[in-house]
Amino acid sequence: DAKTTQPNSMESNEEEPVHLPCNHSTISGTDYIHWYRQLPSQGPEYVIHGLTSNVNNRMASLAIAEDRKSSTLILHRATLRDAAVYYCILTPNAGNNRKLIWGLGTSLAVNP
Amino acid sequence: DAEITQSPRHKITETGRQVTLACHQTWNHNNMFWYRQDLGHGLRLIHYSYGVQDTNKGEVSDGYSVSRSNTEDLPLTLESAASSQTSVYFCASSATGNQPQHFGDGTRLSIL
């Protein structure tokens, strides 16, 4: 099962953009890239996902490298509520997503 | 609004006792999952189900069991609680295919 590599922690200032990187060099051609985040004392929350093309939603943007071996989650204007652990996960396209492999994610601190 | 709820939120019990954690979702999702989260580890899959009467073992299933008698519920049972099972437990659900998982807020279980 393909795994992902993320920095342990990152820091940002409020109202500035944040770029959270993820490496997934062993990604297969059919794996989706999912991002979740986990706020303190809560369960993980879905943020965004994509396959090949860049994706945007109300929470964030996902930029996927052309070779798909890395991706970047972009928070356009960080707020204090965005302080969380962010997980990058590969999801097999075939069948159900039972084989999610959760790493330790990136702990994002947002300074006022 | 649809939701997924876990109960209890906190529980303390003694080794050797049987413990059941409840998970109830109103998304009408076929897929349901149980994870545990410990310091130094990512989320680890305990059991999962693709539908009524279907259950499958995850990567850390020893000492745990689940049953799926309806779409909404997937209770997790610790047959004989051990101190190594002290953890935070998360339940999640998803629609079929490659859809995102929706998580509950977790149950913090302490086994003394």
Quick one: pLDDT at residue B26? 96
For residues A40 and B111, give the distance between their C-alpha atoms in angstroms, rounded to a whole number.
22
User: If you measure CA to CA, which chain A residue comes closest to B96?
Assistant: A96
pLDDT-wise least confident of B12-21, B39-48, B81-90: B39-48
Residue from A36, A96, A99, A102 whose CB has the most chain B CBs within 10 Å, to mutate = A96
Q: For A7, which DSSP code?
A: -
Which residue of chain A comes nearest to B101, CA vs CA?
A46
Mean pLDDT in residue range B97-106: 87
- As given in the structure block, the two tokens for residue B69 are 């008698």
Which pLDDT score, from 0 to 100, does residue B2 have?
Answer: 85
Pairing of strands A106-111, A9-13: parallel
* Interchain proximity A43–B44, CB inside 8 Å: no
Strands B107-111 and B10-13: parallel
Give the count of alpha carbons within 13 A of B112, CB side only: 3
- pLDDT for B41 equals 84
Q: Where are the beta strands (DSSP E) in A6-105?
A: 9-13, 18-23, 32-38, 45-50, 55-56, 61-64, 70-75, 84-91
pLDDT > 90? residue B48: yes
% of chain B exceeding 70 in pLDDT: 99
Q: Give chain A's residues under pLDDT 70.
A: 1-2, 93-99
Q: Give CA angle at B25 (B20, B31), nearest 5°.
A: 90
> Among residues of chain B, what percentage have pLDDT more than 90?
88
3-state SS of chain B?
CCCEEEECCEEEECCCCCEEEEEEECCCCCEEEEEEECCCCCCEEEEEECCCCCCEECCCCCCEEECCCCCCECCEEECCCCHHHCEEEEEEEECCCCCCCEECCCEEEEEC
CB–CB of B98 and A91 under 8 A? Answer: yes
| Mean pLDDT score across all residues of chain B | 94
pLDDT at A77: 95
